[in-house]
């Protein structure tokens, strides 16, 4: 029985990997054939960044079972530290690929450190109180980033909390982060391939974590904290492990995202972005990694496809979001889907649908 279960997870994971690789190969083929609109082409990198964001948040929300409303804060930290790194390396390293890699690593590390620091107080709380503290951290990061000025000149990096003039840059120096104006003049380094590789790495880390001893411990903590504790599982340690991993991956995604545009501002990574990523996770299914990937892709492309609706574009987006949530979670509609499915598979699919709700919740 256990082997059967293991085989099933392996198969399931393989499908996820294959899906990502197939999508990548397909896109590359279409790209080389010139069959892809600039609109879609321009979205490839942000889609990969959002996928990584969604998968990493799923680790906190789905696997660890805690609601985080400040995931964009880690993206912000990763984005800005990645951008600073890319500026520092600009004169040192010629290869853009290597610069991107190092920037993403730095973004990931800094976000990981923030994940640790924030995790210390956050992991002492539970439920909505934990959620509100993550929201608070996201807002603090945004607010503080708006008052930070960082410049680079011959003397090195300079920091100020008042204005770019207070940096006193020497001749030839430039402001990298200019308070509310954010970072400007970023050299675009991100590529679709880099995003694809980051997705694979993320999948590798997250799926292995879930299917490892640690992952089972994390899920045990989620399902019943006290029972897990009584079995000798160090609750705090495993919760921190999941949280920091999640933050680290978000930081890498942030660096990837930021280095795809010539400018990035702190306000981008606000509560709304955190919520957006949360929507990906919930829509894809909590704990369902493949679902997160698909949901992130669709919901990023959807507003663009809806441009045809002009004025009522965002209204249509809202309606679709509500309808999908209803269709996905309403017991009656689910039974309907189940019956349709039953016709195809000639099975009584109704049985396990009766309970309602997500199996992992």
Q: Tell me which residues in 132-171 interact with another protein (CB under 8 A).
A: 132-133, 135-137, 139-140, 143-144, 146-147, 163-165
One character per residue 178-217, x = contact with another protein (rule: CB under 8 A)? -xxxx-xx--x-----------------------------
Q: Which is nearer to another protein, 156 or 285 (CB)?
A: 285
Q: Which is nearer to another protein, 65 or 107 (CB)?
A: 65
Residue 358: closest CA among 274, 306, 294, 284: 284
62: which DSSP letter?
I
Distance of closest approach, residue 269 Cβ to another protein, in angstroms: 11
Residue owning tokens 């090195």: 156
SS3 per residue for 109-121: HHHHHHHHHHHHH
Q: Say which residues have a Cβ less than 8 Å from residue 270's Cβ, sequence separation at least 6.
A: 72, 138, 139, 142
Q: Which is nearer to another protein, 156 or 344 (CB)?
A: 344
162: which DSSP letter?
S
Stretch that binds another protein, among 75-83, 103-111, 175-183, 205-213 (CB under 8 A): 175-183
Of 21, 117, 314, 336, which lies in the binding site for another protein, with binding defined by CB under 8 A?
314
3-state secondary structure of 11: helix
Q: Which is nearer to another protein, 105 or 316 (CB)?
A: 316
End-to-end CA distance of the chain: 23
Stretch that binds another protein, among 52-60, 92-100, 208-216, 263-271 (CB under 8 A): 263-271
Distance of closest approach, residue 338 Cβ to another protein, in angstroms: 7
3-state secondary structure of 172: coil
Measured CA to CA, the distance from residue 231 to residue 220 in angstroms comes to 10
How far, rounded to the nearest angstrom, does the alpha carbon of residue 29 sit from its chain's CA centroid? Answer: 26
3-state secondary structure of 191: coil
Angle at 48 between CA 46 and CA 54, to 5 degrees: 100
Distance of closest approach, residue 83 Cβ to another protein, in angstroms: 13
Number of residues forming the site for another protein (CB under 8 A): 108
Of 322, 336, 339, 348, which lies in the binding site for another protein, with binding defined by CB under 8 A?
322
Distance of closest approach, residue 205 Cβ to another protein, in angstroms: 21
Stretch that binds another protein, among 76-84, 107-115, 210-218, 348-356 (CB under 8 A): 348-356
3-state class percentages of the chain: helix first, strand second, coil last, to nearest 5: 75, 5, 20
How far, rounded to the nearest angstrom, does the alpha carbon of residue 179 sit from its chain's CA centroid? Answer: 25
Q: Which is nearer to another protein, 187 or 237 (CB)?
A: 187
Of 330, 336, 339, 348, which lies in the binding site for another protein, with binding defined by CB under 8 A?
330
């Amino acid at each position: 029985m256990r082997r059967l279960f293991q085989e099933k997870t392996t198969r399931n994971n393989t499908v996820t990997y294959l899906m990502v690789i197939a999508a990548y190969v397909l896109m590359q083929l279409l790209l080389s054939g010139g069959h892809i609109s600039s609109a879609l082409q321009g979205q490839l990198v942000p889609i990969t960044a959002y996928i990584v964001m969604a998968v990493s948040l799923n680790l906190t929300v789905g696997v660890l079972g805690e609601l985080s409303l400040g995931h964009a804060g880690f993206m912000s930290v990763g984005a800005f530290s990645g951008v600073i790194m890319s500026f520092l390396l600009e004169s040192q390293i010629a290869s853009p690929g290597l610069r991107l890699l190092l920037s993403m690593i730095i973004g990931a590390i800094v976000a990981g450190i923030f994940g640790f620091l924030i995790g210390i107080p956050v992991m002492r709380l539970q439920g909505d109180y934990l959620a509100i503290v993550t929201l608070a951290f996201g807002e603090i990061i945004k607010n503080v980033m708006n008052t930070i000025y960082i410049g680079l000149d011959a003397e090195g990096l300079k920091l100020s909390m008042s204005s770019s003039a207070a940096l006193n840059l020497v001749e030839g120096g430039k402001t990298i982060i200019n308070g509310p104006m954010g970072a400007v003049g970023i050299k675009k380094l991100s590529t679709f391939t880099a995003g694809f590789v980051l997705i694979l790495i993320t999948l590798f880390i997250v799926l292995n974590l879930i299917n490892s001893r640690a992952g089972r411990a994390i899920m045990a903590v989620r399902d019943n904290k006290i029972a897990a504790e009584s079995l000798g599982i160090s609750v705090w340690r495993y919760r921190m492990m999941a949280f920091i991993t999640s933050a680290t991956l978000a930081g890498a995604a942030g660096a990837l995202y930021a280095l795809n545009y010539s400018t990035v501002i702190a306000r981008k990574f606000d509560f709304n972005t955190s919520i957006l990523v949360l929507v990906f996770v919930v829509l894809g299914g909590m704990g369902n990694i493949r679902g997160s990937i698909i949901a992130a892709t669709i919901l990023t492309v959807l507003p663009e496809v809806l441009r045809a609706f002009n004025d009522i574009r965002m209204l249509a987006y809202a309606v679709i979001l509500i309808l999908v949530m209803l269709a996905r979670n309403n017991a009656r509609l689910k039974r309907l889907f189940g019956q349709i499915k039953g016709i195809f598979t000639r099975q009584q699919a109704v049985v396990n649908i009766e309970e309602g709700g997500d199996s992992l919740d």
